[in-house]
Structure 1
Amino acid sequence: MAAAANGPRRPPLHRPSQGSASASRRCGGPGAALPLPSAAAGAAMASYTKAAQQWATFARAWYLLDAKMQPPGKIAAATVMRLEGRHKPIYHALSDCGDHVVIINTRHIAFSGNKWEQKVYSSHTGYPGGFKQVTATQLHLKDPTAIVKLTVYRMLPKNLQRRTMMQRLHLFPDDVIPEDIQNNLLQEIPQPRVVPRRLDEYTPEEIAAFPKVWIPPKDFRRR
C-alpha cells in the first residue's frame, strides 16, 4: 500500500561492469580505442625501408653519354667518375662500387686544332722491331672506338681494378644500341661542351636575323 501511494517503481539503472566495458572495447564498440602498432610491425617497416635504401645505394646504374662533337679528354673525365663510383657517398678507393657507362657516337668525336694529324699513338709488341706509331686519323679510321677507349683506360687509376672497371664501359660508333642495354639505361650524362652548329644547319630566317656589320645599298656593285 505504501509503494502504491508513493507511485510506480522505476526500473533499476543498468550500470555496465568494468569487465563488460573492456569487452566492448575489445569487440570494437563505441568506446573502443584504436590499436597501436606493435614493435614488431615498426621493425618490419624499418627493415623494408633500409633494404630499399641499401639496394638503391649498392645497385649498378647505367648511364648514357653522347660523344658527338666532344673532345676525348672531356668524355673520359666524365666517364671515369662513374666507372670508379666517385659520385657516390659510399665511395672508397679499395671498393668496387662504380656504374656502367654507355658511350655512343664515338665515330663523331672532335679534336681541337690540328690534333688529328699531330697526335700520335705508340705501341710495342715486345719483339725486336715491334715499335709502331699511328696518327689519330689512322687509328680512328681503323677502329672508331679506339681513341675513346684508350683515353678512358689511361685516365683510370693504375691498379688491379682498372680492367674490371673497363668491363663496365660500353662503346658504340653510332647511335645504335642493343635492346638489352637500352632497357637498362637510367640517366643521361650531360655533354661536357655545347655542340656547335654547322652553317648548313641554320634556317634562312636565322641567317636573315643575324646582325650584320655592314648593309650594302641596293645599287652596290662588286668590282
Structure 2
Amino acid sequence: MSLTKRVQQWATFARTWHIYDCTWQNPFESAKVIKSHLMGLHKPIYHPMNDCGDHVVVINTKEIALPGDEWIKRVYFHHTGYPGGASWTLAWQLHEKDKTMVMKKAVYNSMDGNLQRRHTMQRLHLFADDQVPKEILDNVTSQIRQLRQVPQRLDHIDKETLESFPAIMDYPKDYILR
C-alpha cells in the first residue's frame, strides 16, 4: 500500500474531534448535524453496525434559541422508576437547572432508533460557555459550521464604524426627536 493511501485510510478510520458553537442556534436543527458526526454518517465507511463516529465538543449551550414560544410550551418527561415518579418539566425550567440539558436531550432524541445511542452519547462533550478544558481543546481538529448566522449586536460595534456608516437620511438641525 502506498504512503498516500495509507494516510487516507488512517484518516478515514480515525476518530476526529469537532467543535460546534450553539450561540443563537436552534437545538433541534443543530442536533441533526451533531448526530451525523457522532454516528459517523459523514464518513464513507459508515454502516449501522459499525461504531465509526467522531467526538463533538459543543460550546455555548446556555445561549441556544428555541423557535417561537417553545420555551414555555415544550415539556420534558422524566420518570424515576418508582410509583408516582413521573414528572414533566418545561424547557425554560430545565434550562435554568442545567444549561446543557436541552441540547443533550435534543441530540439524544435525534438518534431515535440507534441501538448504540447510549455509547454514542459518550462522545458528546457539552459546555454551557466557551470555557473548555485545554486537554479537550488540544484534540479538536475541525469546526462544524453554524446553521444560522449570529448577528452582531450594536453595543459591540466600535464607535468609528458606526459614525462612518452611511446615513439613510439627514435630519434638519432644528428637528426634535420625541
Distance 2:114 2:143 in 1: 28
* Among candidates 9, 15, 19, match of residue 64 of structure 1: 19
Q: CA offsets, 1:172-221, max 9 Å, x none?
A: 11111122211111101111110022231233444442543x54321123
The aligned counterpart of 1:189 is: 144
Match of 1:105 in 2: 60
What secondary structure, in the 3-state scheme, does the structure 2 residue paired with 1:107 have? helix
Amino acid of the residue matched to residue 154 of structure 2?
A: L
Question: 2-side partners of 1:220 and 1:178: how far apart?
Answer: 55
Q: Which residue of 2 aligns with 1:124?
A: 79
| Higher Rg of the two aligned structures | 1
Residue 171 of structure 1 corresponds to which residue in structure 2?
A: 126
CA gap 1:206/1:179 in 2 versus in 1, 3 angstroms: closer
The aligned amino acid for 1:56 is A
Match of 1:3 in 2: none
Residue 98 of structure 2: aligned partner: 143
Deviates more, 1:108-117 or 1:172-181: 108-117
Q: Quick one: percent identity of the two aligned structures?
A: 49
Offset at residue 120 of structure 1 (A): 1.7
2:176 is equivalent to residue 221 of structure 1:
yes
Structure 1 gap ranges (5+)? 1-45
Distance 1:131 1:211, change over 3 A: farther
The answer to whether structure 1 residue 155 and structure 2 residue 120 are counterparts is no
Change (3 A) 1:218 1:50: closer
Q: What code does the residue aligned with 1:101 have?
A: V
Match of 1:133 in 2: 88
Deviation at 1:105, TM superposition (A): 0.9
**Distance change in 2, residues 1:132/1:206 (3 Å):** same
Tell me the TM-score normalised to structure 2 length: 0.88
Counterpart residue type for residue 89 of structure 1 = P
| Structure 2, unpaired ranges of 5+ | none
Given candidates 45, 56, 66, the residue that maps to 1:90 is: 45
Higher relative contact order (CA closer than 8 Å, sequence separation 6+) = 2
The SS at the match of 1:173 is: coil
Distance 2:104 2:153 in 1: 27
CA distance, structure 1, for counterparts of residue 64 and residue 70 of structure 2? 12
